[in-house]
Amino acid sequence: MRPAADRRTDAAAARRRWLAWTALLGLLLAGCATEGLPQSAMDPAGPVARIEDSLWNRVFPLAVGVFVLVQGLILWAVFRYRDRGGDDIPKQVAGNTRLEVMWTLIPALILVGIAIPTVGTIFQLSSAPGDAALDVRVVGKQYWWEFEYLDQEAQGVVTANELHIPTGRPVYLQMQSLSSTQPDPGLEAAPEFSQPVSAGVIHSFWVPRLAGKQDVVPGHTRRMTIEADEPGRYPGQCAEFCGLSHARMRFEVVAHEPAEFEAWIAAQAEPAATPGDALAQEGEALFEEATCIACHAIDGYEESTGSAAAVRIGPNLTHFASRERFAGGVIENNEESIRAWLANPPGVKAGAQMPNLGLSEGDIDALTAYLQTLE
Ligand code: CUA
């Protein structure tokens, strides 16, 4: 009989093993959750995402079938022909033409079966939507997304991190990557392959419920279509490692009923509000003195600065206060977080290219008050 202490240790080890397996199983089953997953490609919310999802629905069962068959055969062979001790070396076989033809032909046929719908889907998704589409230029920067509405009706609205779209209408995205420190050559002035490679880094635009990933590559203009059926907020994120704050390069697609979208565009096309109270006015003056204006455009800000609207180093702040989040869609837009951000941007978000400007408490009060007037 073993000592009691040993038996207690065995029991403790068994309990730990049981706990570890339960935790692992729980973790695996969590992958099957269907509720509260705003970024699931298997819950498509528009025609583009549905086309992709239907391809998955056709290919996945086939893949499961192959997996089960192959693994099943392996397990069967392992157990059926295991060494039972005392056996002689089995008959050695070299080459079996019938088997070899079979295991070459069957996978080849399966691959052809997968390739036909896959290639068809690729062509279907890469064709440009018609004239009715809303055209938006998407620019990936470190680490935030800029959206510029290209249609005449949108009057050159530029926003950041929130892509507002109408429901039931395809949105054609023309996507580029630019460095924050280089002047923007514009979509027209930047034909395919003409930008220097140093123009930016590779990002990837991904709104799982609306469309698959699209890499945004420096020197190229990449295009994709998204569309949402229902109004709502669809979270997305950069899906390609692009530097220190890659994980904090999020965004949201906000879909509105068409009439609501028109109203949103009209409001965004308005020049910035003029601040009423003294503190915000002080902030407005500081916006120029503290050189914020060198990187951030505010449409309608001080005619004398002239080129302000062309400045596209940082996000366009014309209607900053209308956005729910800022700094790559990771920080809730409220007084407290604006203050923290102004005090030390890279301290709030590692790698942020806005430097710590050494603003005084008073400057921060005034700038925060001003930014909050920019509805
Ligand atoms: Cu941009 Cu990762």
Tens of pLDDT, residues 321-361: 899 888 888 889 998 999 999 999 999 898 888 888 888 99
Q: Mean per-residue pLDDT for 65-77?
A: 95
Ligand 1 center to residue 223 CA distance, Å? Answer: 17
Picking from 12-26, 30-44, 77-91, which range would have the lowest pLDDT averaged per residue?
A: 30-44
**Which atom of ligand 1 lies nearest, measured to the CA of 143?**
1
Residue nearest to atom 1 of ligand 1 (CA): 203
Ligand 1 center to residue 138 CA distance, Å? Answer: 13
- Six token digits for residue 116: 């036909």
Using the predicted structure, report yes or no on whether residue 301 has a pLDDT greater than 60.
yes
Confirm if 205 and 214 have CB atoms less than 8 A apart.
Answer: yes
Using the predicted structure, report yes or no on whether residue 304 has a pLDDT greater than 50.
no
CB atoms within 10 A of CB 155: 13
Mean pLDDT of the chain: 86
**Confidence at 193, pLDDT banded by 50, 70, 90:** very low
Ligand 1 center to residue 30 CA distance, Å? Answer: 27
Ligand 1 center to residue 333 CA distance, Å? Answer: 21
**Confidence at 310, pLDDT banded by 50, 70, 90:** low
**Which atom of ligand 1 lies nearest, measured to the CA of 216?**
1
Any residues with Cβ below 6 Å from ligand 1, and which? 140, 143, 203, 238, 240-242, 246, 249
**Which atom of ligand 1 lies nearest, measured to the CA of 203?**
1
* Cα–Cα dist 137/141, whole Å: 13
| Length of the chain counted residue by residue | 375
Using the predicted structure, report yes or no on whether residue 153 has a pLDDT greater than 90.
no
- pLDDT for 188: 60
Picking from 8-17, 238-247, 254-263, 330-339, which range would have the lowest pLDDT averaged per residue?
A: 8-17
**Which atom of ligand 1 lies nearest, measured to the CA of 201?**
1
**Confidence at 196, pLDDT banded by 50, 70, 90:** very low
- pLDDT for 197: 42
- pLDDT for 312: 74
Q: Which of 255, 269, 250, 55 is nearest to 156 (CA)?
A: 269
Ligand 1 center to residue 205 CA distance, Å? Answer: 8
Using the predicted structure, report yes or no on whether residue 295 has a pLDDT greater than 80.
yes
Which DSSP symbol is given to 14? H
Ligand 1 center to residue 209 CA distance, Å? Answer: 19
Ligand 1 center to residue 212 CA distance, Å? Answer: 15
- pLDDT for 308: 44
* Cα–Cα dist 273/370, whole Å: 10
Confirm if 158 and 297 have CB atoms less than 8 A apart.
Answer: yes
Percentage of the chain exceeding pLDDT 70: 90
Whole-structure pTM value? 0.82
**Which atom of ligand 1 lies nearest, measured to the CA of 249?**
1
**Which atom of ligand 1 lies nearest, measured to the CA of 246?**
2
Q: How far is CA 374 from the centre of its chain?
A: 26
Using the predicted structure, report yes or no on whether residue 86 has a pLDDT greater than 70.
yes
**Which atom of ligand 1 lies nearest, measured to the CA of 241?**
2
Ligand 1 center to residue 82 CA distance, Å? Answer: 50
**Confidence at 194, pLDDT banded by 50, 70, 90:** very low
Percentage of the chain exceeding pLDDT 90: 47
- pLDDT, tens only, 200-216: 889 999 999 999 999 99
Ligand 1 center to residue 192 CA distance, Å? Answer: 21
- pLDDT for 1: 54
* Cα–Cα dist 6/55, whole Å: 56
In the chain, count of helices (H) and strands (E)? 8, 12
Q: Mean per-residue pLDDT for 214-238?
A: 92
- pLDDT for 207: 96
